Structure 1
């Protein structure tokens, strides 16, 4: 949904960022800003700053930054349309209605009806569990040490002794047989008519990230088969694109997500305080689920069963996580099979220790590989080393591959040069990785010479943001072309235009960018750490130095373009003249 820039800015301006963030974070005023502990990483000393003047936030610890929109998008994991709707409702701003085609309206209406079917079914199962007819289910769940609070939190229920009861209940609620069937709750046969496949089972409602019931999982009571049964794929339920428990885990603020195999593992872990746990939905972990996790965390901890099947699933999951650009680690469950058993026997403190000691996924892969070879047999050991070399070729980045090569060589007592030769051999044969250059001692990487130029541009933007009155001085010496980074130039262009019109709003500038990373970079431009200066003379000297640095970088940038840009000669000549003039100028901050 597209919203006009004027409307986006109106909604933002009518939601004071301090008021909004105060609903999530305890803030205390200190100086001109408000401070609290950052909600995006664990910290004890407040480093999270909220500026009422700029209508922006910035964390000096993890560098999270943005305006009121980006805060909601990051904290609640909302999309931009979701964030603007929340803030518009909060401010009493009416958003334009979305125009839909008849086909879109029909499809949306059906989706809503299926969600309503599932919602009512979840209520029915919830009631049945607490009814005398659900005693067998309640006995099972209490036997698994679940509390009433936990059962309520996850909406656990029980399906009756036959598959007709829930169908009859839903019919009485006004749903058609077609709607009940399309929801995945029942199937039709000529012998029995419409009948639910869920009966004599403890029921686990499956919710999307907005807490809407989209399907169910059922665990049979007794020895029936299958032990676990899930809803089929429907218009609202795609197993490959959802994860059990993610509606709660997405706001856990732990910096990681724990991926496990089953519903009971997730529930037991949440009950023990590990609210970042999720599980795949009766299928193997998928690429789509990995991409979904990428929205909420970079670090994924695998808590799969410790048996052979669990190890195989973990190895497969590691590859999928790596493809999705996620960091994977493996939690050791031994001597128990799964997280539920582990926590029941050793407690949550011991499980937290296992989280802290989670094994690097590549080390895990190599360790499992090593168990397949007799390390005392030279021939077997050589084969093992070849396997390691092949695995190292999977790293496309030279530095990362070299770091792992060094670490694995030390861990398994292999000469690094020998292992490197093997890697080079496999890389050249298959073409899957470039040969690793042998590191030369005493050679250090030189710092990027243009970074000082970028830093001076960031400092200048921050300084103007803190004191807009400085713009009258800046515009005498600095033009938009002096901002040599494209994103910096876009920010400066908007900022200069607003300052010329006397309507400068730093927070509004962030909304120009759709990409999340660009929003973060734009916000960070207004929070570069300025030097602490006590006297007027020191401020004037420092400000002059920043202006000169920006101008010098601009001159050098256009000099480097000579021969490739027809306008570069003119810009370079003008830049040199302007730089010399600025170096002679005396800056007065009255």
Structure 2
């Protein structure tokens, strides 16, 4: 359900974009604005500017621009809703939703599920320390080399044997049993009744980025199957969106340099026991785009760790294909392969922390893995090698990384340069694919363009402005946008950031963002005058147009004759 526009408008008004960005990217005062080296592309000289007046940022190098919400979405790799929630959280606000009985029921259910999952977590932790079988569980943990501190820090628990350990806690609360069924903690019997999903297992709570328990992973203590059992998909748990251990990692490290992605919960915990406390697990799935977004958002370097066999190499290749479209300047994704038959848990016990971290530091770069793998797949077929490489490199959004890979590919293929390769193989660059459609706003110095730019940059000049009915009769490209802006700003005072947020889904929002930082060379004290001059010019366009229409007619109605006389008088006054 949508977030009320009034709330978004108020949120943008209350967040100071200079403070927001300065917390992440140190800014320096530059006249009335602030500047820094752009966080969205590599550069040595600052081209990134932030305006406190407009509550807007713009990079003259790569073109990145927007308001506070855009910055959080881009910098922290959040979607729109998460960015709103993140900013609201900074202000201590709860994000409302548009009124809907169904939505209220859904929100209430989610709150109940979070609460019940936390209760289940406490039950498993209590069982680890008080159940009759606790001694054999602790003996297992000791054999795995896990200390009580590590067990506590990860909230590891124990699901006791039997069919109704957790269920028994709610035997007099059928409504909670129903919700535990929804949360995946209970399973319904075919003939009626329910039983515990997790039995006689070591329990690993899976937390979301807010620290809420959303699911569990259970590892069998003996030789039973399956070895690992995960919570199913539920209203609050989507395993492709979560990473086991990420919340704990963020609690331990404010600024994360490296995150290593491994397969199992035990690998994460065992590595932490040896002081390598920056591993996360992908919950038994191929690393998804959502998980890569989380990884890249929370660290400077991502090391994907895989078995050294064929299955491990294929999993790494799938991860590479997933990561390519997401990479941005400064992102560093590497690939580490283990000796066959080893996993991170077993290997770190054999060679220790120092040698293991040496292997991490020697992990293959994305470029190395990409071209090595392609070479193995196409040892004697340069055509197929080149075509598959091109198909992959075209997915990359970051032009710097794209050009680096193209240079490497051209060298491998014996071509003179990346430009030579582009011409011969028909490579489509991002610049060509991402040309902005600014139709309707052409004409750099036109009064219409100036009127829109001034109104976007200083929306207060439109407040309580008298209606301009003549403008709605014009068919100039861009006039519809100006009329929409005039209608909106006439009603209330906006900042540039609020205005752009209101037009987020508009077809012309990209052009509006460009005009928000366009240097129109009108002094601040002359903005109001120049804006009104532009409106006068546009009104005169209508007058000229209407005069031509009426003067060409053979006969006129009484109203048209009166209008024509007035137009002639205005035309004479203009001269």
Provide the TM-score with structure 2 as the length reference.
Answer: 0.61
1:313 equivalenced with 2:315 (yes/no): yes
1:53 equivalenced with 2:61 (yes/no): no
**Residue equivalent to 2:560:** none
Task: Name which of structure 1's ranges 217-226 and 35-44 shifts more when overlaid on structure 2.
Answer: 35-44
Matched residue SS, 2:206: strand
Aligned match of 1:360 in 366, 376, 393?
366
Closer, same or farther: CA 305–24 of 1 in aligned 2, 3 Å: same
Closer, same or farther: CA 136–333 of 1 in aligned 2, 3 Å: farther
Aligned match of 1:261 in 253, 260, 263?
263
**Residue equivalent to 1:226:** 226
**Residue equivalent to 1:185:** 185
CA contact (8 A) 2:188 2:194 kept: yes
The superposition leaves residues 279-322 of structure 1 with CA deviations (integer Å, 9 ceiling, x where unpaired) of: 3322344xxx3256458749994513232121121123333445
CA contact (8 A) 1:219 1:229 kept: yes
The superposition leaves residues 538-580 of structure 1 with CA deviations (integer Å, 9 ceiling, x where unpaired) of: x98xx99xx9xxx9xxxxxxxxxxxxxx99x99xxxxxxxxxx
CA distance in 2: counterparts of 1:85 and 1:297, whole angstroms: 17
1:331 equivalenced with 2:340 (yes/no): no
CA distance in 2: counterparts of 1:517 and 1:149, whole angstroms: 55
CA distance in 2: counterparts of 1:209 and 1:530, whole angstroms: 44
CA distance in 2: counterparts of 1:310 and 1:505, whole angstroms: 52
1:290 equivalenced with 2:294 (yes/no): no
CA distance in 2: counterparts of 1:27 and 1:202, whole angstroms: 45
CA contact (8 A) 1:318 1:328 kept: no
CA distance in 1: counterparts of 2:338 and 2:383, whole angstroms: 29
Q: CA RMSD in A?
A: 6.5
Q: What is the deviation of 1:121?
A: 0.7
The superposition leaves residues 465-501 of structure 1 with CA deviations (integer Å, 9 ceiling, x where unpaired) of: 4898999xxxxxxx9999x997x995x7677677878
Q: What is the deviation of 1:217?
A: 0.5
**Residue equivalent to 1:303:** 304
Alignment of 1:147-546 (within 5 A): 151-152=151-152, 154-171=154-171, 176-187=176-187, 194-240=194-240, 242-245=242-245, 259-266=261-268, 278-285=280-287, 289-291=288-290, 293-294=292-293, 297=296, 301=302, 303-308=304-309, 309-322=311-324, 329-334=333-338, 337=342, 341=347, 344-346=352-354, 350=358, 353-354=361-362, 358-360=364-366, 363-368=368-373, 370-371=375-376, 382=380, 385=382, 387-389=384-386, 391-392=388-389, 394-395=391-392, 397=394, 407-408=408-409, 410-411=411-412, 415-416=414-415, 436=425, 461=453, 465=457, 490=481, 503=493, 505-515=495-505, 525-527=515-517
CA distance in 2: counterparts of 1:42 and 1:136, whole angstroms: 55
Q: What is the deviation of 1:66?
A: 3.7
CA distance in 2: counterparts of 1:196 and 1:16, whole angstroms: 47
Matched residue SS, 2:502: coil
Matched residue SS, 1:305: strand
- In structure 2, the gaps of 5 or more residues are 429-434, 464-470, 535-544, 550-575
CA distance in 1: counterparts of 2:191 and 2:4, whole angstroms: 58
Closer, same or farther: CA 437–32 of 1 in aligned 2, 3 Å: closer
CA contact (8 A) 2:335 2:366 kept: no
- In structure 1, the gaps of 5 or more residues are 374-380, 418-422, 425-433, 440-446, 472-478, 532-538, 552-565, 571-590
CA contact (8 A) 2:219 2:229 kept: yes
Closer, same or farther: CA 63–156 of 1 in aligned 2, 3 Å: farther
Closer, same or farther: CA 93–226 of 1 in aligned 2, 3 Å: closer
How many residues align? The count is 503
